[in-house]
Amino acid sequence: RVLPTAGLTGAVQVGFLTWCGATLASLLGWTTMEGLFLGTSLAISSTMVVTRALAGAKIEPEIRDHILGVLVVQDVLAIVLLATMTGVAASGRVETDALGADLLRLAGVLALMIVIGLVVVPKLVQRVARLGSDEVLVVVAVGVCFVLAALASELGYSVALGAFVSGVLVAESGLGHRVETLSASMRDVFAAIFFVSIGMTVDPWQALETLPLALLVTVVVIVAQLVIVTLAGLVSGLGLRRALTAGLALGQIGELSFILAGVGIAAGAVRSDLHVLLVSVAVLTAFDMSAEC
């Protein structure tokens, strides 16, 4: 329903932020590879931060739907970026032929997971729901998530791919909202563990050393997101006020940014302090998001 506006906004926004990050890296004297990883890391907003902020904010349903729609589009594109950047980091260069082959392989894996999953998962969740036990329903839903995440990892992709697909499959059962409500506390626990574990990998003194650059990148993220999301919203007919609200709400980075950067760092393709930089930017933009709400 929101694809005509959110789809256009999300696609344009991811492309523009990737370009902004790559351009900034070039001006800083970084390598092309480092620029690609910086750009893609800045292109994905934090679904966790935005949804938590929206939960306590008084925002029109149309604007909320648009923001969440853009986040979904970003998550889908992030899956493609994760697979693409994993191949780029492994080879150390961008090769069109290899990139095309990686995307075809990703499309095939997604198609198999979704097609086979649609045959099994929705019916399984519906049968479990008929047992009348909320506990069993949550265990099965989370189990499906873990199984598909492990499968994605075995196939060489991020666990985020399997987790995303599992959410789509569980929602196809018609019980997505119920499972989401029942698993909310578990989601919050895992989110806390994730962000705490990310924070524990950062030396505070390193964060202070990178603070000037983090402030610069923060300004780029907030301004670029505001400009491009607002313009894309206007082009798609969202209206100025709604487009501005969406642009302000999406001006931060988060969990998938860390995962993308981690791929490059693990492969030795980018500098290790990129992780520290992104954590600092995530904290700064999260504070900005809280102030806006």
Average pLDDT over the chain, rounded to whole? 83
Distance CA 99, CA 4 (A): 28
Q: Would you state the pLDDT for residue 147?
A: 93
pLDDT tens, position by position, 141-175: 999 999 999 998 888 777 878 888 898 899 998 88
CB 258 within 8 A of CB 38: no
- Give the gyration radius of the chain's Cα atoms: 19
Q: Would you state the pLDDT for residue 97?
A: 64
Say which residue the tokens 């760092």 belong to: 265
Q: Would you state the pLDDT for residue 90?
A: 66
Q: Would you state the pLDDT for residue 77?
A: 83
pLDDT tens, position by position, 84-127: 777 777 666 666 666 677 778 878 888 888 888 888 999 999 99
Q: How many CB atoms lie within 10 A of CB 4?
A: 11
Identify which of 76, 64, 67 has the alpha carbon closest to the alpha carbon of residue 11: 76
Q: Would you state the pLDDT for residue 218?
A: 92
Identify which of 28, 46, 54 has the alpha carbon closest to the alpha carbon of residue 194: 46
Phi, psi (rounded to 5 degrees) for 201: -90, -5
Segments in 28-133 forming alpha helices (H): 32-42, 47-55, 61-91, 96-129
Q: Would you state the pLDDT for residue 96?
A: 63
Distance CA 165, CA 125 (A): 15
Q: What is the pTM of this model?
A: 0.78
Identify which of 186, 98, 102 has the alpha carbon closest to the alpha carbon of residue 138: 186
CA diameter of the chain: 60
Structure tokens at 225: 């997101």
Which position has the higher pLDDT, 228 or 59? Answer: 228
Distance CA 60, CA 62 (A): 5
Q: Would you state the pLDDT for residue 164?
A: 84
pLDDT tens, position by position, 249-269: 888 887 788 888 888 888 787
- SS3 state at 232: helix
CB 228 within 8 A of CB 260: no
Structure tokens at 205: 């003194």
Structure tokens at 142: 């989370």
- Model confidence at 292, pLDDT cuts 50, 70, 90, reads low
Which position has the higher pLDDT, 130 or 201? Answer: 130
The amino acid that residue 62 corresponds to is: E
Please give the distance of CA 290 from its chain centroid, rounded to a whole number: 19
